[in-house]
Amino acid sequence: MLHKSLKPFPKDFLWGASTSAYQVEGAALEHGKGPSVQDVKEPPAGTSGFEVAADQYHRFKEDVALMAEMGFRTYRFSISWARLLPDGTGRVNEEGVQYYSDLIDECLKYDIQPLVTMYHFDLPAALDAQGGWGNRATVDAFLEFSRLMFERYGDRVKYWLTINEQNMMTLAAEAILGIDTSAPGATKLIYEQNHHMLLAQAKAMKLCHEMLPEAKIGPAPNIALVYPETDKPEDILAAQNFNALRNWLYLDMAVYGIYNNIVWSWLEGQDALPQNILDGDMEIMAAAKPDFIAFNYYSTATVAASDGTEKAGHTGDQQRQLVIPGFAKGVPNPHFQKTEFGWEIDPVGFRNTLREVYSRYHLPIIITENGLGAYDKLEQDEAGNDVVHDPYRIDYLRAHIEQMHLAISDGVRMMGYCPWSAVDLISTHEGFVKRYGFIFVNREEFDLLDLRRVRKDSFHWYKKVIASNGENLD
Ligand code: BG6
């Protein structure tokens, strides 16, 4: 659809950017923090692990000042569960509580609204040792953790996100949930863990509304519209299947409190229905209502029909091309350019995804991740000043903001935009050298150098975008 003129971004649009605790903070075992699952596992091959990361724990004042210089109206960060509750439940680490209290105050000093992710891939190792999300007690522990955050920070934090990318944790269960996906009965086990997370989310949303009537809370999955490879009806069915499994399962549950019928039938067909849905669970799901939908968007996915003869499996990362025999088969899409790390780039797909999500759920949307990972290079200009030229990142973000602007003109209600990431940080499995930030952090994979902060070209560009409320993208 073409528009003669575009509707403006809302006046109070939340421009900002995102990080997550284990990827940015460092101080992994300092000041009373307990280990999370990320601290106890072997670092991904060729990477250095999360001990120091971008050292934001020790440098948050400098980082927040730089965000303020860019004009941020929000900063999305996550709270490390094991920093507040080192054993996952019980004993409170007051030093950890103080750290986030200071970070929140620092943001508010510059009128930057904290947008807090309650859980981002870093379950306390102590809970993992007791069965992690397979253990229903983890739902209660999450509620205890939620209550603690609402009590200590609810006077200052207005925006909360429940669980980051639950759908990616479930689809990549071997990587983040530590489940052997080739073992018999694995699918059932995975979707039982998934049910516990959905329940934990519903209970946390309800508690938030009871304790903090002014606050707003929503889910934060990774949503990517799934395209059919061709116009063959069988490919369209496959796209509907994978859309349901990858996207709608999570949003249907968060918004309507119902299990998506396509996913339910698929689970039933392989004897993998979760057996841990107890009396009362579905009523809790139905009663919990989000105030908005947050989602992370990097690209779309494309699938073809599977006749059931292919071998189940997938390729590498979150852009994994899953093969689910008899259900859908991921395929590359020839229309897209790719990042240095092989991720497809589909800005128009961003508009498509926004339109689809809004038409299905009619809730305001905030984008909590979007961005491009690259090997940025620190250089010196003629005067000897540090510079980082990242035109590829500017191009990526510009194209996505243009499409978001079109989506607003299509009638999609947008609340904010937080690309990944505010500061360079450690990628989930490709180390520090895969950088996403507006702010460069001077370290290499294994050599920590001086960790000094440098404004990239995208920093100066984003500052103009925010100052013009999305009108000036030059
Ligand atoms: C999202 C995660 O999946 O994508 C982030 O929420 C992650 O934690 C980001 O860093 C980019 O992925 P990656 O694998 O390049 O770090």
pLDDT in tens, 124-160: 999 999 999 999 999 999 999 999 999 999 999 999 9
Residue 248 per-residue DSSP state:
I
Which residues contact residue 323 at a Cβ distance below 8 angstroms, ignoring those fewer than 6 apart?
306, 310, 311, 312, 313, 314, 329, 330
Q: How many Å apart are CA 213 and CA 209, to the nearest integer? A: 5
Distance 133 CA to ligand 1 centre (A): 21
Least confident of 43-47, 49-53, 313-317, 376-380: 313-317
Sign of the C-alpha dihedral, residues 53, 57, 62, 67? positive
User: Does residue 51 have an active-site annotation?
Assistant: no
Tokens 């926004």 correspond to: 354
- Ligand 1 pocket member 168 (CB < 6 A): yes
Homologous superfamily of the 14-224+291-299+334-467 domain (CATH): Glycosidases (3.20.20.80)
Provide mean pLDDT across the span 97-125: 98
Pocket test for ligand 1, best of 37, 418, 427, 429 (most atoms within 8 A of CB): 427
The pLDDT assigned to 258 comes to: 97
Q: What is the DSSP string of 167-224?
A: HHHHHTHHHHT---TTSTTHHHHHHHHHHHHHHHHHHHHHHHHHH-TT-EEEEE-B--
Atom of ligand 1 nearest to the CA of 317: 14
Q: How many Å apart are CA 311 and CA 293, to the nearest integer? A: 35
The pLDDT assigned to 314 comes to: 67
> Backbone phi, then psi, for 11, in 5-degree steps?
-60, -40
| 195 pLDDT more than 70 | yes
Residue 86's nearest CA partner among 78, 77, 97 is 97
Question: Is 405 within 8 Å of 9 (Cβ atoms)?
Answer: yes
Atom of ligand 1 nearest to the CA of 343: 15
* pTM for the model: 0.97
Over residues 308-353, the pLDDT tens digits come to 888 877 654 555 678 899 999 999 999 999 999 999 999 999 999 9
Distance 213 CA to ligand 1 centre (A): 32
Q: How many Å apart are CA 164 and CA 220, to the nearest integer? A: 5
User: Does residue 369 have an active-site annotation?
Assistant: yes
Distance 277 CA to ligand 1 centre (A): 30
Residue type (1 letter), 445? E
Distance 117 CA to ligand 1 centre (A): 14
pLDDT over 70 percentage in the chain:
99
- Closest Cα to atom 15, ligand 1: which residue? 427
Over residues 60-85, the pLDDT tens digits come to 999 999 999 999 999 999 999 999 99
Q: Which of 25, 106, 165, 192 is an active site residue?
A: 165
Distance 220 CA to ligand 1 centre (A): 13
The pLDDT assigned to 316 comes to: 47
| 115 pLDDT more than 60 | yes
Pocket test for ligand 1, best of 318, 338, 340, 344 (most atoms within 8 A of CB): 318
Strand partners for 158: none
Beta-strand ranges (E) seen in 383-426 are: 386-387, 414-417
- Ligand 1 pocket member 243 (CB < 6 A): no
The pLDDT assigned to 322 comes to: 83
Which residues contact residue 256 at a Cβ distance below 8 angstroms, ignoring those fewer than 6 apart?
286
Atom of ligand 1 nearest to the CA of 426: 16
Residue 466's nearest CA partner among 158, 68, 160 is 68
CA separation, residue 433 to residues 59, 385, 396, 438 (Å) = 20, 22, 19, 14
Beta-strand ranges (E) seen in 289-333 are: 293-296, 301-304, 323-324, 328-330
